[in-house]
A and B are shown apart, each in its own frame.
Chain A
Amino acid sequence: MVNKKGALFHWIIFGVLAAFGLFFILANPLEMGYSIKGQWQSDFLKNYYLISEEEMLKTDLNAKLIIKQAVLDLSQKGGFNQKSECPTINNYNVWNKITDWKKCSPEPEKELIAGIKSKLLLSYPLRTYDLKLDGLSVYGKSNSESLSRSTNKYFLKYSYYPHFRITLDFDPKKDYETLKGEALELVNSCRNVKNLEKCITDKRKNNWKFKDCTAEKYTEQDRSVLFCVTSPQQVKIYDTNSKLIPLTYLFALDFTATIPFPIEKLDADVDLKNGFVEIIFDQDKSADSYNIYFTDYTFISSNTGTVAELKEKVFSGYFWSYKELKNSELISDPTKCASGVIKEKNKGYLCLDKVYYTLSDSKLQLNKDYLVAVTTVKSIKESEINSFFKFKYT
């Protein structure tokens, strides 16, 4: 028989074992004090730091796509986001108004920034970007964004700034500056030339095309011509169909002449029977009036220049006279255009865009040689004399 002391000792063993069992069941010592080290930190890195890095990476990509699209859109509107203050022709913005380039030519930096801003706002409505264009780089500074989580134990907020700096492989402003310079040169060279198409074709650079860069077509409206010009920096850009295309600029230029055009082709037909010389020349619709000069000093027949210069060359004893004919006074009556029809003296008749002026003057004498020239007058300004026509009043 086991004594009392032995029995107590015996049962203590089972008590200790039971205590261990209970401890294992209730406390799970495998988990006690051995939580995964750095789990919170790993979780933070993965779900906050790296997520924000991914977002900033996507911001960089989206910003790049947006900037390129804005550059492309702007070039297609001739450098304007909205309609410019100046007129448009077939949706082509006109870059100048006669000689005024300040009001109508685009400000590429301002317009490009506005274009990028509006596109960024569509992609990121909660962000406010402050944009700066500096050479090849576009800087975007934004307000901060944050990722946050709230639990019973803690509140976590991770903030970051989704700024970007995109470096382009071309300077978007440089193309506009080059094009403005070339446009100014072209307008100055051709604005006072009557045959505009020929002048532009001769003077333009190779990357300048009319209206459409692939199928060019000369389009002129009130001396404003439509252009499609490929990038002087030869920039190529992807369009929305993933097609790599050359960057082209669509705009129009105003070639309104600052001085009236001289009359280039002149003819004269003496009609002694009716007592006048019929002077024939092309009508200039832009002119207010014509001055028909005639002189008996025939030694200046091959001279050209202003009226004052040529008049000065006429020796004393010879006459230098003129008649004025207003465009509005032209008689547009087809019945008067037929040959043999009696016409009034010193009147202008319009027949198929040609002016027939019946010059009659007491200074004209039989069997004598005379020179005749015609100038156009527009807003007080008078054109030069381009050529004389010599005739014998016989």
Chain B
Amino acid sequence: MIPKKAMMDDLFDFLFTVMVLFFILIFVNVALVYGQQQKETQSVYYLEQVKVNDALLNFLRLPVTLSEDKQANMLDIISLVDVNTNRDERIKAFQDNAKIYFSNKFPGSEYWEGGYPWKISVYGLNEPLDDLSSLYNSYGYNTKSTCDPTDTQSSYSYIIKLKKVDGQEVNLVFCIYKSYLENRASNKNG
């Protein structure tokens, strides 16, 4: 016959084992579920990047009506093709259209990092990207954006090189905060 003490020992060992296995399985479950969510969020985040690139390409084909009912698109405005209008009108057309278009594509009711989550600019090829004297510059409504295309840690940028009518090239730069995209991704996933 097994003594009582030994039985109690076995019982506690058993209970201990059950508890340990319970906690281990909870840990594994949490770890796996969290990992899966992370991956899914990352997957949606990648898709958000694709959407950013796609949005910028579509923006360039956006039709614009200029003075004297002249039809052009954003690509024409940047490259100066077909646009018999002055610089001020071109800048206004670029800014107004960019604000409406990207605010619809990437809405944000709150300020992001002290400004708006996105910024679109056109720079001469030799101009530094942070030069505020860029050819065209557009931010969200009524506020500026601090999104810095050179800061690849915190921002995602898509740059397209375009040729102008004089043969010179310009950089069209769209910058958006990674945190904004991640937030969109987790909201969609969540």
A residues bordering B, Cβ < 8 Å?
2-3, 6, 9-10, 13, 16-17, 20, 29-31, 34-39, 42-43, 45-46, 50, 53-54, 57-58, 60-62, 64-65, 68, 169, 236, 238, 240-242, 244
0/1 interface trace, chain B 38-49, chain A, CB 8 Å (1 if under): 011011001101
In Å, the complex CA distance between A200 and B167 comes to 39
Q: Within 8 Å of chain A (Cβ to Cβ): is B113?
A: no
> What A residues does B10 contact at CB under 8 A?
6, 9
In Å, the complex CA distance between A236 and B68 comes to 14
B35 contacts A30, C-beta separation under 8 Å = yes
Known: A6-B9, A61-B162, A241-B166. Contact between A29 and B28, CB under 8 A? yes
The answer, among B31, B39, B84, for a CB contact under 8 Å with A244, is B84
In Å, the complex CA distance between A46 and B24 comes to 40
Q: Which B residue's beta carbon lies closest to that of A123?
A: B163
B75 contacts A61, C-beta separation under 8 Å = yes
A345 to chain B, nearest CB (A): 73
In Å, the complex CA distance between A37 and B42 comes to 9
In Å, the complex CA distance between A13 and B6 comes to 17
Known: A6-B9, A36-B46. Contact between A58 and B82, CB under 8 A? no
Q: Which of A2, A36, A60 is packed against the most chain B CB atoms within 10 Å?
A: A36
Q: Which A residue's beta carbon lies closest to that of B46?
A: A42
A42 contacts B79, C-beta separation under 8 Å = no
B60 contacts A57, C-beta separation under 8 Å = yes
Between-chain CB contacts (< 8 Å), 24 pairs: A2-B9, A13-B16, A16-B21, A17-B24, A20-B24, A29-B28, A30-B31, A30-B35, A31-B35, A34-B32, A35-B39, A36-B46, A38-B46, A42-B47, A45-B50, A50-B53, A50-B57, A57-B75, A61-B162, A61-B163, A64-B82, A65-B163, A65-B165, A242-B80
B2 contacts A3, C-beta separation under 8 Å = yes
B43 contacts A39, C-beta separation under 8 Å = yes
B57 contacts A42, C-beta separation under 8 Å = no
> What A residues does B54 contact at CB under 8 A?
50, 53
Q: Which A residue's beta carbon lies closest to that of B165?
A: A238
Q: Which B residue's beta carbon lies closest to that of A3?
A: B6
B39 to chain A, nearest CB (A): 5
B57 contacts A54, C-beta separation under 8 Å = yes
A38 contacts B163, C-beta separation under 8 Å = no
Known: A34-B39, A64-B82. Contact between A13 and B46, CB under 8 A? no
B7 to chain A, nearest CB (A): 9
> What B residues does A238 contact at CB under 8 A?
80-81, 165-166
User: Which B22-69 residues have C-beta < 8 A from chain A?
Assistant: 24, 28, 31-32, 35-36, 39-40, 42-43, 46-47, 49-50, 53-54, 57, 60-61
A37 contacts B166, C-beta separation under 8 Å = no
Q: Within 8 Å of chain A (Cβ to Cβ): is B160?
A: yes
> What B residues does A35 contact at CB under 8 A?
39
Q: Which of A17, A45, A61 is packed against the most chain B CB atoms within 10 Å?
A: A61
In Å, the complex CA distance between A242 and B32 comes to 60
Q: Within 8 Å of chain A (Cβ to Cβ): is B134?
A: no
Q: Within 8 Å of chain A (Cβ to Cβ): is B125?
A: no
> What B residues does A39 contact at CB under 8 A?
43, 46
Known: A9-B10, A68-B81. Contact between A242 and B47, CB under 8 A? no
